Amino acid sequence: MKKNKIIKFFLLIGGGLLLGLVAFMVAEAASSGAVLAKLEKEERMLAAENQSLSVELVRASSLVNFEIYATKMGFIKPQEILYITEKEVFAKLP
């Protein structure tokens, strides 16, 4: 009789520990799922921001914008372009 009570006691303790372990694992899995969902949402937000910044970079680096910025900074478009070749030497030594 006493041996049966001891076995039942250890089985109850073991079952309680297993039940507690299962509950702990379920809670951990649920919190891991929440963290994963948060990270996936953040990934989508960063991907959208990256795309927006890429569009802005392309727009900002267009040649039309460079011309506008250069004009604002005081540069002017040349009226006449001179090409110097090897045959046309200038500042020649005497």
Assess if residue 14 is contained within a domain. yes
Assess if residue 61 is contained within a domain. yes
Residue 43 is inside which H or E element, if any? helix 2-60
- The residue type found at 10 is F
Assess if residue 88 is contained within a domain. no
Assess if residue 32 is contained within a domain. yes
Domains held by the chain: number:
1
Tokens of 83: 């090409």
Report the percentage of the chain scoring pLDDT > 70: 90
Provide the whole-model pTM.
0.48
Assess if residue 82 is contained within a domain. no
Of 36 and 45, more confident: 45
- pLDDT tens for residues 40-71? 999 999 999 999 999 998 888 888 788 888 88
Assess if residue 25 is contained within a domain. yes
- Domain limits at 15? 2-72
Assess if residue 30 is contained within a domain. yes
